[in-house]
Amino acid sequence: MAEPRPQVALIDYGAGNLRSAARALIAAGADVITTADPAAIAAAQRIVLPGVGAFAQCITALRASGVEPALTEAVQERGVPFLGICVGMQLLASEGHEHGIHKGLGWLPGVVTRLEPADPALKVPHMGWNRVEPRAGAGITAGDAYFVHSYHFTPADAADVLATTDHGGTIAAVVRRGSITGVQFHPEKSQAWGLSFLKNWLNS
């Protein structure tokens, strides 16, 4: 008998690339419900929070959607596995410094600040393919992923960084604390390596 597919709630708060994220999760082996329904979030086995745009816009939209209490209860209180993608990862921070200073979810202490590459020839936003290098024992295979971002997340505790990339300086590419994972890249745009990453997350 085939193993049951994990039930994933993909959070729809008007600030994510939902269709491509859903397709990638399904291809990786999940059953996906795209939702802003607190009851569906409470019932999900796993939760994915996408994010496209600015930190201020995304955290405002998330709070306006009314799902934050359900997310906090599921992830913080019950330990439901969570994956934040791009700005969805940045929202984990204590605060973001994009278009002013804005309070994040605060689930993973740290700050989101503008990229400032040491090499002035490197452009911002950081856009395109770049190498993801995991630290030893992270359980992640090195590979090339697709990035699109002008800001980056620096966790307060370096132990929360599982993998990095380089764009005129070291950038957190994968963060994790307990059941909470965040990725700065877009796994849904990262072809075979991104699909492999999602499969590993679904099976972890």
Catalytic residues: 86, 186, 188
Q: What is the DSSP string of the chain?
A: -PPPPPEEEEE-SSSS-HHHHHHHHHHHT-EEEEE--HHHHHH-SEEEE---S-HHHHHHHHHHHT-HHHHHIIIIIT---EEEETHHHHTTSSEE-SSS-EE---SS-EEEEE---SSTTS-SSEEEEEEEEEPTTSS---EEEEEEESEEEEESSGGGEEEEEESSSEEEEEEEETTEEEESS-GGGSHHHHHHHHHHHHH-
